[in-house]
Amino acid sequence: MDGLSRRKMLMAGGALGAFGALGIAAPANARSLWTWAPSGSVAGSGAGIDPEWVWDEEADPVVAAVLDRGEVAAVNAQLATWTRNDQPVPAGLPADLRDFMEHARQLPSWADRGKLEAAAAFNKSRGFYLNVLNGLGGGMLSTAIPREARSVYYSKGGADMEDRVAKTSLLGFAIGALNAYRPDGDVVVQAVKTRMVHAAVRHLLPRSPDWTRTSGGQRTPISQADILVTWHSLATYAMRKLLEWKVRITPAESAAYLHVWQVSVHMLGVRDEYIPATWDAADAQSKQVLDPILTSTREGVELTDILLNQLAEQTSPGSIDRPLVNAFARYLVGDRVADLDAIPEEKFWLKTIELVWPPLVAFREGLLPLPLVPPLAWTIDEAVRQYVLWFLTKGKGTTISLPDTNRPGSS
């Protein structure tokens, strides 16, 4: 596939925000006008078309045809057997879908194997922080993104959030794996599958009266602008927090971590002219597309409550309770987003976390001796460990599959 056609492909997110994109609760034009310059992208140039009006010209018609032909069950059975980057696309798939997947699995010409390996090592060494930020932090951000919250809520996965967490975590796990882009890794597989799920949601969701009623006028969900928003709620947000926490990151590690997300975004379909080339460019783009659109929705508040209850109830019984979960979520995303998500204030635990988390990070980074870490920090540490364990095990025994309907009762 040539570079021009590859840039016409859409991207997908990871962790809890991976299937996002739809309506706006506030005015439909609440986000800023698109002024981000393509000179700041990995392509270095571009037409400058607002990504709000760009979707997936290659995936959408192919996946729509699969749904219209009633082939979803058969396709999902074949997709379940495709698990490794070096594995051939299943021969039993419809020819048009198989041809699309063969093109979609190709790495961009600018992918740097050395940086991808460096990113894998960085993800391994900083996995504790990244799983917290991309899972809980990114999850709480996603429920404050109106289109994302509503796309999740009214699509098929919104009716079973435990299963949805498992499925949407698979891509994040794949990006962060040590063998992510090696032959025995699976990030290519998960990216292509996620891209096809996005196309299926774009075909199905406009049929939902509930989505149409809340979409803010957006006829086709999951534009490239929506997916850039999700990207920033994961990659850009995580890097900001790591720097805020004074986690030691070398320039090479920072560049490598950005690169693995750049490649993953390209693999998931976003045009190269929209992919930030540097963290400064990413910050500038995030301030334009993410920050202005955050707001509260009924669907987002309900999803937040479900997710936090799952965390409190399904980690290690008795080791972590909802007030501590509330406080840590608020600490991760700040008061503005926490208020939008209606996360209760837990003043004792929040003050405790604000007191003990910085020295705990400093101890992990070798910057502070153990005696200076407050004893209560280890209660927080164990709670976070239990969360990471829960988050990492959600994807076991599941696979990304195409939906064939919207949320029951919504279609």
24 — pLDDT class (breaks 50, 70, 90):
very low
31 — pLDDT class (breaks 50, 70, 90):
low
Q: Mind listing the pLDDT tens digit for each residue in 319-358?
A: 558 898 899 999 999 999 999 999 999 999 999 999 999 9
Q: What is the pLDDT of residue 30?
A: 58
* Element (DSSP H or E) covering residue 184: none
Is residue 347 situated within a structural domain?
yes
Q: What is the pLDDT of residue 158?
A: 66
Is residue 38 situated within a structural domain?
no
Q: What is the pLDDT of residue 39?
A: 97
Is residue 351 situated within a structural domain?
yes
Is residue 282 situated within a structural domain?
yes
The domain of 167 spans: 1-19+51-95+106-397
Q: What is the pLDDT of residue 211?
A: 80
Report the share of the chain in percent with pLDDT over 70: 85
Mean pLDDT, range 132-139, rounded to an integer: 90
- Average pLDDT over the chain reads 85
20 — pLDDT class (breaks 50, 70, 90):
very low
Is residue 28 situated within a structural domain?
no
Q: What is the pLDDT of residue 332?
A: 96
Q: Does 304 have pLDDT greater than 60?
A: yes
Mean pLDDT, range 256-273, rounded to an integer: 95
Note whether 71 and 94 are within 8 A (CB).
yes
Q: Does 408 have pLDDT greater than 90?
A: no
Q: Does 11 have pLDDT greater than 70?
A: no
Please, what is the Cα angle at 60 between 40 and 169, to 5 degrees?
70
Is residue 402 situated within a structural domain?
no
d(CA 39, CA 238): 24
Q: Does 9 have pLDDT greater than 70?
A: no
Q: What is the pLDDT of residue 62?
A: 98
Higher-confidence residue of 21 and 179: namely: 179
Is residue 298 situated within a structural domain?
yes
Q: Give the HSE-up count for residue 347: Cα atoms under 13 Å, Cβ half-sphere.
A: 0
When divided into structural domains, the chain yields a total of 1
Q: Does 16 have pLDDT greater than 70?
A: no
Is residue 26 situated within a structural domain?
no
Mean pLDDT, range 52-58, rounded to an integer: 93
Q: Does 162 have pLDDT greater than 90?
A: no
Mean pLDDT, range 181-207, rounded to an integer: 94
CB atoms within 10 A of CB 90: 16
